A and B are shown apart, each in its own frame.
Chain A
Amino acid sequence: MQFMLLFSRQGKLRLQKWYVPQADKEKKKITRELVQTVLARKPKMCSFLEWRDLKVVYKRYASLYFCCAIEDQDNELITLEIIHRYVELLDKYFGSVCELDIIFNFEKAYFILDEFLLGGEAQETSKKNVLKAIEQADLLQESETTFASSCVKLIL
């Protein structure tokens, strides 16, 4: 996978994960173009499109579009499953996840993604294990906070 973008129906970016180095300007350009292209698609169209020299797999969940750019030899159908797995993880973590959760807790969305994918590939295929790791990491974070000076309740 080269990158993953999450954006709303109005084209607002909610998450961007890049697995190949790109200049900031280029990232903005790609994002803008791709968002436009995907938003222009009609509901009846299939989830795959060819864009530049990449294959793009996208799926809409409620008000959010999940969009991945994969390479030629990657399997489009399993990418759809990857996207679905990520949504399931978010859902389990936030409890019936909605766009607002991702907006207000974007850093958590990233943490979860980084426990599921690494370098563009799935590192853990068990839902349970991903969530367990996140839970443990969160605990670690919390335990630190309680040790810190009492005037600082919640760091973030």
Chain B
Amino acid sequence: MTSWSAVVGSQCLSLHQGHLPTCLCVFQRMPAPIRLRELIRTIRTARTQAEEREMIQKECAAIRSSFREEDNTYRCRNVAKLLYMHMLGYPAHFGQLECLKLIASQKFTDKRIGYLGAMLLLDERQDVHLLMTNCIKNDLNHSTQYVQGLALCTLGCMGSSEMCRDLAGEVEKLLKTSNSYLRKKAALCAVHVIRKVPELMEMFLPATKNLLSEKNHGVLHTSVVLLTEMCERSPDMLSHFRKLVPQLVRILKNLIMSGYSPEHDVSGISDPFLQVRILRLLRILGRSDDDSSEAMNDILAQVATNTETSKNVGNAILYETVLTIMDIKSESGLRVLAINILGRFLLNNDKNIRYVALTSLLKTVQTDHNAVQRHRSTIVDCLKDLDVSIKRRAMELSFALVNGNNIRGMMKELLYFLDSCDPEFKADCASGVFLAAEKYAPSKRWHIDTIMRVLTTAGSYVRDDSVPNLIQLITNSVEMHAYTVQRLYKALLDDISQQPLVQVSSWCIGEYGDLLVSGQCEEEEPIQVTEDEVLDVLEGLLLSNLSTPVTRGYSLTAIMKLSTRFSSVNRIKKVVSVYGSSIDVELQQRAVEYNALFKKYDHMRPALLERMPIMEKTASNGPTEIVQTNGETEPSVPDTKHPPLVTQPANQANDLLDLLGGNDVVPVIQTTLPTKPASAGGELLDLLGDLSLSGGPAPAPVPSVPVSQPPFLLDGLSSQPLFTDIAAVIPPMTAYNKNGLKIEFTFERANPNPNIAVITIHATNTTEADMTEFVFQAAVPKTFQLQLLSPSSNIVPALNQGSITQIIRVLNPQKQQLRMRVKLTYTHKGLPVQDLAEVNNFPPQSWQ
């Protein structure tokens, strides 16, 4: 019925806005809009969302027409109803202007609802809100303090910058009034103004003069808030207000010492809100100021020791006190007191208290590490807490507390936590464990075991970069290779679903498969595994649905690498050729290239698939030194892929002949930034002992981002010129020719670094017998740096039927004349042969 008459009414009245003749009113007999409570009751009877919506729409229509009629009497009621419906989630923007009209009304009732409506429906994004400004200005000067209060409240809650600019003067005036009811509101309103328009802060300064002399707690509290805001925003204000410290201390002291004050008492504590705010202001004033910190020392100690801790309110004050003590320049006794309070908090039954304790300890663990360490066991216990936030804090704190002394115990707890924690924690926990293990591992075996544990329990959650990091770690733990590969193999047998674990395992098997099969493990009982079994596992990974494309890449490469370590080469050849037609482009490309390796470049295969050298984690690994190949390689090649250039170790024996022999030595490349010249020794020619044979073999594709190109094309290992722009064609030369052994050098200048000369040696044999166990070693003067890569083989076939190729890279930053001393050893017709020679006839283009 309401809507019917409203419709009729509106049709007649729309032409008479604001000039409603009373006679019309009579024959329309507009019923009063329903009361707010009535509406609420009605809406609550709705049984479905649709029913509710219908009621709301009906009422909204009524309200709309009522608004159109400019009905003053019921505007307030209508807006109130609108606010209710707005809270239910329905649109109420058509009431915005009505709120403004209510605010402009003379009636307090109207203003109350009007301002409420403004705060709920209007915001500074709408221009409409600016219309409020004048009303607020008037109301700030109203004769009734409750009206002034409404205006202050609204301005302080939602005033935009423009409004604040316009009305700041009024607020400042009220800040100086003696009416404490208004003064306290003005203070908080000023805080809002300053937040919105920081430049206006200055104008409030004079008014702050006597704020702290107030007896009224409301004014005191809000004044402290205002002072805090000003000090936080401006260092000048901060220094200016430092003089208030004694006064603040006094007020705080009174609060603590004074007897029971019923008006402000909360569980036996006098005005905890004010106490907390004062403590916070003291913190800001005392920070980085010795004098202020000293002035507040006593009161802080007093609060810390005298505050009742049985209820939350007391702990709230203690919490704030601790925060203050830790932030100012407090003496150590006080700091220890603070940490002990936190320690006690940790034992509190109230989980909220435990939570804030952990948060605070986390903040102080860096600066007061030892004090926090004392509470380590309690912190570790918190790992078992039921609350997620507490667990997280405890975990972060635990990692912060791990050091060389407690690593074993802590790691045990943390691994146990990793086992049982929620998935959301696993990634962070795993990373934390890896980091801690890397820093403090007591032994290599422990380190590997810890990694294994993480991979097997949280394997799918470890971060992507963990895989290359782990691979590097494993590579560098030389003596643990057999043990590691065995354990990883066993883990694979159990579970192939966790990709990081599978990737690391495949890589290891590919690398150390020979150790696995030979049953060489020292650390634990070696397992009996055949080559076929290993290949079964790896092939299984290729076929499994659980394996991601990246993992498949790892397995294929691992299988390929085993071709130089296992004897079942045919099986491997077959697998590789099958994947030559794989749908996965990455796999296909790899397989095709591996195939090519079997066919055309078989002589290079052993060299390319050789053991990885120890990798150093260098931040800037001089990627500019690295040779680019036919433009297809990834532009950002990660560190571990390229064996960095080697410098002459400082304390290598001076003797020219002091070389490490043996093909199966895993070379130790001491790396430094390539531009650093070798130091030490007066010898002109030092030999790079360690590097004798196997230099950096082809970096395996595994350690990171899948590259579009199989790695063995990198680093110019192929003897064919791979660069598209060679600076100049350098003529080859014969370096050695004796007893039927001829060694030729061919040259390339590296791009982009012209200081590197890449020399490929070709060794051929004109005699009728093969030269076996052929080893080529070279040494260069100190100003050079040399890197010797793996030879293609160690047999020089008789009668020029083939050759050995090997690549030498020489860094010649000073562009000096290249000289080289070479040492050759081989077995010929059953007899060992050894020879030394100097090579001086380098063409100038190779070093200029």
Q: Is the CB of B109 within 8 A of A126?
A: no
Report whether A75 and B116 are in contact in the complex, using a CB–CB cutoff of 8 Å: no
Which stretch in A44-52, A61-69, A90-98 binds the other chain? A44-52
Q: Interface digits, A115-130 against B, CB 8 Å rule (1 contact, 0 not)? A: 1001101111111110
Binary CB contact string for chain A from 133 to 153 against chain B (1 if under 8 A, 0 otherwise)? 100110011001100100010
Q: How far is the CA of A84 from the CA of B164 in the complex (A)?
A: 32
User: Contact between B191 and A49 (Cβ–Cβ < 8 Å)?
Assistant: no
**Contact B109 A125, beta carbon cutoff 8 Å:** no
- CB atoms of A125 and B351 under 8 A apart: no
| Selected contact of B217 from candidates A18, A75, A126, A155, CB within 8 Å | A126
Contact of B40 among A85, A103, A152 (CB under 8 A): A103
Q: A119 near B192 (CB under 8 angstroms)?
A: yes
Q: Would you list which residues of chain B between 74 and 104 have a CB under 8 Å from chain A?
A: 76-77, 80, 83-84, 87-89
Scoring B124, B188, B271 by chain A CB atoms within 10 A of each residue's CB, the highest score goes to B188
B218: nearest chain-A partner, CB-CB? A124
Q: Are B222 and A121 in contact (CB under 8 A)?
A: yes
Q: Tell me which residues across on chain A come within 8 A of B156, comparing CB atoms.
A: 118-119
Question: Contact between B312 and A81 (Cβ–Cβ < 8 Å)?
Answer: yes
A141 touches B109 (CB 8 A): yes
Say whether A48 contacts B355, CB under 8 Å. yes
Asked whether B521 is an interface residue with its Cβ less than 8 Å from the other chain, the reply is no
Q: Using known A-B contacts A77-B312, A81-B273, A82-B273, determine if residue A106 contacts B108 with beta carbons closer than 8 Å.
A: no
Q: How many residues of B contact A (CB 8 A)?
A: 74
- Whether B221 lies near A122 (C-beta < 8 A) is yes
Using C-beta atoms within 8 Å of the partner chain, give the interface range for chain A. 35 or more
Q: How far is the CA of A49 from the CA of B250 in the complex (A)?
A: 35
Which chain B residue shows the least CB distance to A23? B125
Taking CB atoms and an 8 Å cut-off, the chain B residues in 140-192 that contact chain A are: 144, 146, 149, 152-153, 156-158, 160, 181, 184-185, 188-189, 191-192
Q: How many A-B residue pairs have CB under 8 A?
A: 178
State A24–B313 Cα separation when bound (angstroms).
35
Chain A residue at smallest Cβ distance from B274: A125
Instruction: Provide the bound-state CA to CA distance between A1 and B376, in Å.
Output: 33
Given A49-B389, A123-B218, are A156 and B80 also a contact pair (CB < 8 Å)? yes
Provide the bound-state CA to CA distance between A14 and B87, in Å: 7
Residue B29 CB within 8 A of the other chain: no
**With A and B bound together, what is the CA distance between A78 and B307 in angstroms?**
14
Bound CA span A147–B276, Å? 45
Structural contact, B271 and A125, CB atoms closer than 8 A: yes
User: Cβ of A111: which chain B residues have Cβ within 8 Å of it?
Assistant: 112, 116
Of A21, A118, A128, A145, which one neighbours B153 at CB under 8 angstroms?
A118
Q: Is the CB of B537 closer than 8 A to any CB of chain A?
A: no
A144: B residues at CB distance < 8 A: 107-109
Report if A36 contacts B (CB, 8 A). no
B266 proximal to A (CB < 8 A): yes
Q: Distance in Å from the Cβ of A89 to the closest Cβ of chain B?
A: 13
B109 touches A136 (CB 8 A): no
Residues from chain A with Cβ under 8 Å of B274 in the complex: 125
- A122-B273, A133-B149 known; 17 new pairs, CB 8 Å cut-off, are A16-B87, A46-B355, A48-B389, A75-B316, A77-B319, A77-B353, A78-B272, A103-B44, A118-B153, A118-B156, A118-B157, A119-B191, A121-B188, A144-B108, A156-B36, A156-B37, A156-B113
Which 8 A-B residue pairings sit nearest by Cβ, starting from the closest?
A77-B316, A46-B351, A124-B218, A119-B156, A118-B188, A78-B316, A125-B273, A45-B387
